[in-house]
Chains A and B, each alone.
Chain A
Amino acid sequence: MSRPTPLRDVHESLGATLTDFAGWLMPLRYGSEAAEHRAVREAAGLFDLSHMGEIFLTGPQAGEALDFALVGHLSALTPGRARYTMIVNERGGVLDDLIVYRLGDEEFMVVANASNSEKVGNELKIRAKAYDAVVEDRSDQYALIAVQGPRSQEILATLTDADLGGLKYYAGLPGLVDGRRALIARTGYTGEDGFELFVANQDAVPLWHAITAAGEPYGLKPAGLSSRDTLRLEAGMPLYGNELSAELTPFDAGLGRVVKFDKPGDFVGRSALEAVKDDTPKRRLVGLVARGRRVPRHGYPVTKDGAVVGEVTSGAPSQSLGKPIAMAYVDTGAESGLAVDIRGSHEPVDLVELPFYRRNK
């Protein structure tokens, strides 16, 4: 049985199509996923992301513990700021991609993908053992509600006195939203401006209703995982299990910039990653735009002159481009004359650099 989030009854009353995702019962869509996608690009969307994991590290050496456990330099993070980072194994293979928030001098929150949350929590406990820091998985205590889209700030401003305008991208501050304690973070997975609100489970339903009411004049819509996936794909953001896996290093995924070799001390995966950091990967992660209307999907081969030169990791019809798009690992050097083998028929595609979509700032 899939676990419900605190918002399950709300989703059902909205007529959502629910689906199992990483062991959770999540809203796939409420109505038209294309309309939900457009709402986020043009106005705002409201997402239940309570399946995400929240793992806390507290103590005098919490920052040093994370420096050892992750590829980033988290002890250098200013309180109130956040970083995109990764946890890798000894071979440098990616175990998960993460956002780490520094909540205070001695307190960090690690946000992990639902499918990896337990693994990440256990791994952090092991890796933090030698440090004066306590690791606690509080995923069961927190709901996560995201408001994403260009009207997000205006909508939330009607519900909070927090300084949203002063909150930078990848920053978070504690505040009251509709009178409820929340960590307000300016982060997201849609390619738009937006906020993620970490709240206690019991506050999720009233907060959802308050945001729905506040957002109504701005065109806010509830949005499900289906639109979240097409939004992140257009924004060229990787999804663990598709673009990222334990078989790939951050360098293979074109995300070597998250590995901070210049931080002090050793970290798990350092020697393996140092050995490959200057290599040219055999394949690189690129964007593909289909010329036709059939959609390249996860696992389909990329071909050139009939030979396989890569594999699609994610694909979907793109609202913003009006054509099917995909991310794929393609042999370095194979740039033109590409096709995707869509159930036996080789459909031509054009290679583009990621992302497919960039918002106007």
Chain B
Amino acid sequence: MSNIPDDLSYTKEHEWVSGIDDGLTVTVGITAFAADSLGDVVYVQLPDVGTNVEHGDSIGEVESTKSVNEIYTPVGGEVVEVNQAVVDDPSLVNSDPYGEGWMFRVRMEGEPEDLLSPQEYTALTSGES
């Protein structure tokens, strides 16, 4: 059973989102379930700071030994920060997906859509594992 913290929001694309409650800037990463499924992450590509993105856009990629997956932004707005540490050392995604393995921050415009609660995300992943 993967670790699913109960103070985060989630997406069907196996991303986590924090900071939704204050409605300003959110932080996004991929879940422990996603990291475990990928295996050793070897490459992370993130958007440039200042990029304007829309909900659901593919804005980067996570590559492991066996596969490559796109990163989607779960919210629209402006990318205000990216985690250079995870670009330099992609293994942080595996070792600390909810902490040092965070990926990017977006200053939100409008309302978030289609986010899952921890309970809903738990149900989703238990159906897939």
Whether A297 and B39, one on each chain, are in contact in the complex, defined by CB atoms closer than 8 angstroms, is: no
Interface residues of A in 68-127 (CB under 8 A from B): none
How many chain B residues have a CB neighbour from A under 8 Å? 12
On chain A, the residues within 8 Å of B45 by CB distance are: 294
Does A293 make an interface contact (CB < 8 A)? yes
On chain A, the residues within 8 Å of B39 by CB distance are: 17, 28-29, 32-33, 226
Interface residues of A in 170-215 (CB under 8 A from B): none
Cα distance, A317 to B40, chains bound together (Å): 10
B42 closest partner in A (C-beta): A317
On chain B, the residues within 8 Å of A297 by CB distance are: 68
Cα distance, A299 to B37, chains bound together (Å): 23
- Summed over the interface, the residue pairs from A and B with CB atoms below 8 Å come to a total of 35
Cα distance, A294 to B45, chains bound together (Å): 9
Give the distance to chain A from B97, nearest Cβ to Cβ, in Å. 14
A297 closest partner in B (C-beta): B68
Does B13 make an interface contact (CB < 8 A)? no
Q: Digit string of B40-82 for contact with A (CB within 8 Å is 1, else 0)?
A: 1011010000000000000000010110100000000000000
Count class of interface residues, chain A = 10 to 19
Whether B94 and A295, one on each chain, are in contact in the complex, defined by CB atoms closer than 8 angstroms, is: no
Q: Digit string of A263-297 for contact with B (CB within 8 Å is 1, else 0)?
A: 00000000000000000000000000000011101
CB contact between B43 and one of A29, A32, A226, A293 (< 8 Å): that residue: A293
On chain A, the residues within 8 Å of B40 by CB distance are: 32-34
B94 closest partner in A (C-beta): A32
On chain A, the residues within 8 Å of B68 by CB distance are: 295, 297, 343
A35 closest partner in B (C-beta): B40
Give the distance to chain B from A29, nearest Cβ to Cβ, in Å. 6
Apart from A295-B68, A317-B42: 15 A-B pairs, beta carbons within 8 A = A17-B37, A17-B39, A29-B39, A32-B39, A32-B40, A33-B39, A33-B40, A33-B66, A226-B66, A230-B65, A294-B43, A294-B63, A295-B42, A324-B42, A343-B68
| Interface residues in chain B, defined as those with a beta carbon under 8 Å from any beta carbon in chain A | 36-37, 39-40, 42-43, 45, 63, 65-66, 68, 94
Q: Could you list 10 A-B pairs, sorted by A, with CB under 8 Å?
A: A29-B39, A32-B40, A33-B65, A34-B40, A34-B65, A294-B43, A294-B63, A295-B43, A316-B65, A343-B68
